[in-house]
Structure 1
């Protein structure tokens, strides 16, 4: 269905309103114009996705990576978005790493003393094996 190929309208409407308010708090946007901006967003995402998919397919990859998306932006003439996308990618990676570390920390906290001792002994054994 068409809904599956659309960005969430409520989210886009909020983004449009926030962007508009940042420029001019008194400016309004018609519903027709708001919908046109949403359709442009849908088209942009679909075009970049299709181009990134083609890039990954050409490489024989089954997973689209951030690099494929960056290449798609360049191929479609959106080089001006590249730096901002790289920043977003780096922030997302950092956030993912922080979540992973927090999860590991929670897992360690939830360990019994016996489990912690067993893990410590395992880590020591692995370290000794690497040194040998």
Structure 2
């Protein structure tokens, strides 16, 4: 394999291990004052730094996971990795985001259980919905006349 092939292979891997440029651009523009622009090179550097940070944290979390003989990296492994690497200041915000995420998951499960508790099949619920739409449409049309 030539150096050129290796470089193009590395570029393909780098593209896979990146962040969406449009999303990062939007985040940057939201954080900067409206009269300040960000050069593409700066955005790309920010993306590279973010990807490197993610690699660093995930590698450390993986080591912690392996030390505990676990096969799955848990949120607690990430928090411990942040602390070990000197990013203690981030842990409070990460823990808050984790709490919010767990609450969203729990709320989503409640919605699923409401569906299950209804005792109706999906077809029955769809028929009810269609009947409600038809009744609403009829009322709308009656009000138009």
- TM-score for both structures, normalised by structure 1: 0.77
Matched with 1:17 is 29
> How many residues of Structure 1 are paired with residues of Structure 2 in the alignment?
109
Whether 1:65 and 2:74 are equivalent positions in the alignment is: yes
Inter-partner Cα distance in structure 2 for 1:110 and 1:11: 42
Matched with 1:117 is none
Matched with 1:38 is 47
Cα deviation digits, residues 79-118 of structure 1 (max 9, x gap): 1100000000000000000001101101222537xxxxxx
User: Structure 2 unaligned runs (5+)?
Assistant: 1-12, 122-145
Cα deviation digits, residues 28-74 of structure 1 (max 9, x gap): 11111111111111111111111111110110000111110001111
Alignment of 1:1-132 (within 5 A): 1-20=13-32, 24-111=33-120
Inter-partner Cα distance in structure 1 for 2:109 and 2:74: 20
User: Structure 1 unaligned runs (5+)?
Assistant: 113-132
Matched with 2:142 is none
Larger radius of gyration: 2
Inter-partner Cα distance in structure 2 for 1:104 and 1:82: 33
**Structure 1 residue ranges, 4+ long, deviating more than 4 angstroms after superposition:** none
- TM-score for both structures, normalised by structure 2: 0.71
Matched with 1:122 is none
